[in-house]
Amino acid sequence: QVQLQESGGGLVQTGGSLKLSCEASGRTFNTYAVAWFRQAPGKGREFVARITLDTGVKDHSRSVTGRFDISRDNAKNTEYLQMNSVKPEDTALYYCTTQPSALADYDNWGQGTQVTVSS
């Protein structure tokens, strides 16, 4: 089992920046990739970005490409989401999660960190 703890959320103005962190603990050696999802009020959970742990290959959703960047510090077992040029539609609860293999479902989830973008 992997435990995930997100941090770094808060209130930011449109056009500003924010950096989210997610620290993993527990049985992290079975992890193929880590990712960020978000869920806005009244909407379903949406994929934001993913990074593989062995090769560092990144994948970002179309809505955040060019503005957000996922990264990973393997030595610290921590992943990050750098959010730049934020928009009001980025307001959501942001979750980090793990994927045990390339085609598997995401299996461990954090509690989430709230990001609110003011217009």
Per-residue pLDDT at 26:
85
Per-residue pLDDT at 50:
97
* Residues 6+ positions from 5 with CB-CB distance below 8 Å: 22, 23, 25, 110, 111
Per-residue pLDDT at 64:
98
- What's the rounded Cα separation, in Å, for the pair 92 and 56? 26
User: Which is nearest to 78 in space by CA: 18, 6, 1, 10?
Assistant: 6
- What's the rounded Cα separation, in Å, for the pair 119 and 112? 22
- What's the rounded Cα separation, in Å, for the pair 7 and 112? 8
Tokens standing for 78? 């921590």
Per-residue pLDDT at 32:
93
Per-residue pLDDT at 51:
96
Amino acid identity for residue 1 in this structure: Q
Per-residue pLDDT at 110:
95
Amino acid identity for residue 72 in this structure: R
Per-residue pLDDT at 1:
82
Per-residue pLDDT at 74:
85
- Give, for all 119 residues of the chain, the pLDDT tens digit: 889 999 999 999 999 999 999 999 887 777 899 999 999 999 999 999 999 998 999 999 999 999 999 999 988 999 999 999 999 999 999 999 999 999 999 999 999 999 999 98
Does residue 61 contact residue 47 with C-beta atoms inside 8 Å? yes
